[in-house]
Amino acid sequence: MVQLGGRFFDGKLVTGLGATVGARPGTPLPLAQGYVTLGSDSGHRGKKTVGDATFALNEEALRNSVGDQIKKVNDVAFALIHRRCERAPIHSYFVGGSQGGHEALIAAQLFGKDFDGVVSVFPAYNFTLLQLGSNAVAKAGYADGGSGWLSEGKLWQDVAAARDSRRIHHSVQYS
């Protein structure tokens, strides 16, 4: 079975019916490959406002969103598989990108006994500091009237100079 991650603030439901991050266009969906697939709404109902975190005023919803939902949903899936198939799944995996990748790290770190393996693609972990880091980049870009901004023209000049000095193959450097 494989749990698919991905949602967070918006509380939308990950149905488990879609493709996994990084799958080739022609690869059969996990469901078609014979996996039991599952996902969750990260443990709270969604609000339409982007970035609305008022759900976190509820202690259980907060704990769900930062990890508990992963364990709860997996436990329910295990129970349903037992009831339906009268045995445990062969393997239990977690796959996700971005916030789903963050959840894959949580699955491995907090609930390692529940998963045989995880895939974490461009994880959005350390979320608060990540956002503050972006603010620092923006501040640097706007500082001193934008003098630190690297124009595309200047960037290509520098790349070309570096290429010439190191004799790097043209088609590789530019591709």
Q: Which residues bind another protein (CB under 8 A)?
A: 2, 20-25, 27, 30, 33, 35, 91, 93, 95, 97-98, 104-105, 108, 116-126, 130, 133, 169, 171-172, 175
Shortest approach of another protein to residue 84 CB, angstroms? 21
Shortest approach of another protein to residue 116 CB, angstroms? 5
Pick 56 or 121: Cβ nearer another protein: 121
How many other C-beta atoms are found inside a 10 Å radius of the C-beta of residue 6? 20
Pick 55 or 115: Cβ nearer another protein: 115
Closest of 5, 9, 39 to residue 119, by C-alpha:
5
Shortest approach of another protein to residue 105 CB, angstroms? 8
Tell me the C-alpha distance between 6 and 84, whole Å. Answer: 27
Shortest approach of another protein to residue 60 CB, angstroms? 28
User: Which H or E run contains 165?
Assistant: helix 152-166
Pick 2 or 38: Cβ nearer another protein: 2
Burial class of residue 64 (count of CB atoms within 10 Å of its CB; 0-12, 13-18, 19+):
buried
Shortest approach of another protein to residue 3 CB, angstroms? 11
Q: How far is CA 58 from CA 39, 66, 98, 103, in A?
A: 21, 13, 25, 20
With contact defined as beta carbons under 8 Å apart, do 75 and 93 qualify? no
Pick 60 or 116: Cβ nearer another protein: 116
Pick 117 or 148: Cβ nearer another protein: 117
